[in-house]
């Protein structure tokens, strides 16, 4: 489809369905879910184990062919934990797996297909054993690009950017751009420039909701129920 053919009333009902599903099926599985969350296609979000915490104003986008998976498989009693801070963004296909501890700070963005893990999951010689685990820490305002992998024991400093497809196996200092396999620092950010984080979107939450509503109504203006059904069942080149 080249455009969204749904009437505004249908999209509004769909958003309410997503919110109801999140409250009924997702929130009870989480140790903590902050207020102001937005789960898109939450039925494609898969959770396993505990504790899993997600902070305020999280945006989680899942798809049928790119599910979001957050899994805790404890290496030992009392271990295994996923904690994601406020204002986070998880895009389709994101996977976070913990046997020890994975901590992701505030305002972090994980792009499509990112994988964060704190364990090897199998020993080098004894493939029946769990393998080595070491905590992962991702600082505030970190952006991890499409298809990147963050491995056990890694610490990524605040404001840093991980390039698409990178494999991070060692510490990345704050205010850096890292890329490659294994990922290496290729640029240092100018900290005299102010960072605008995702939090700034939510500082005026009421105005933001009104802006999104007006944008949706303008985008869907003129759509009809019959037109939506026709485009869904009998699409043409113009759709």
| Sheet-wide strand order for 95-98 | 45-48, 68-72, 95-98, 115-117, 149-150, 167-168
Q: Please give the Cα distance from 43 to 76 (Å, whole number).
A: 30
Q: Please give the Cα distance from 117 to 130 (Å, whole number).
A: 13
3-state helix vs strand vs coil in the chain, percent to 5: 20, 25, 50
Whether 122 is a known active-site residue: answer yes
Q: Please give the Cα distance from 66 to 76 (Å, whole number).
A: 30
Task: Tell me the pairing of strands 184-188 and 176-179.
Answer: antiparallel
Residue 65: cis peptide before it, omega within 30 degrees of 0:
no
Q: Please give the Cα distance from 84 to 51 (Å, whole number).
A: 11
Active site residue: 24, 44, 122, 206, which one?
Answer: 122
Q: List, by residue number, the catalytic residues.
A: 122
């Amino acid at each position: 489809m080249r455009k969204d053919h749904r009437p505004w009333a249908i999209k509004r009902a769909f958003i309410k369905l997503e919110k109801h599903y999140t409250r009924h099926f997702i929130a009870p599985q989480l140790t903590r879910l902050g207020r102001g969350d937005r789960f898109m296609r939450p039925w494609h979000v898969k959770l396993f184990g505990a504790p899993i915490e997600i902070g305020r104003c999280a945006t989680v986008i899942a798809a049928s062919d790119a599910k979001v998976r957050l899994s805790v498989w404890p290496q030992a009693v009392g271990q295994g934990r996923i904690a994601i801070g406020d204002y986070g963004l998880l895009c389709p296909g994101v996977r976070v797996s913990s046997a020890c501890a994975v901590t992701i700070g505030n305002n972090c963005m994980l792009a499509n297909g990112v994988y964060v893990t704190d364990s090897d999951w199998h020993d080098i010689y004894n493939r029946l054993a769990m393998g080595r685990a070491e905590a992962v820490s991702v600082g505030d305002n970190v952006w991890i690009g499409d298809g990147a992998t963050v491995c056990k024991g890694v610490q990524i400093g605040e404001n840093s950017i991980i390039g698409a497809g990178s494999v991070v196996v060692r510490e990345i200092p704050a205010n850096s751009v890292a890329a490659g396999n294994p990922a290496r620092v290729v640029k240092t950010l100018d900290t005299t420039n102010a960072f605008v984080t995702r939090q700034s979107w939510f500082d005026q939450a009421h105005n933001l909701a009104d802006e999104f509503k007006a944008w949706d109504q303008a985008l869907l203006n003129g759509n009809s129920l019959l037109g939506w059904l026709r485009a869904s069942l009998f699409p043409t080149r113009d759709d």
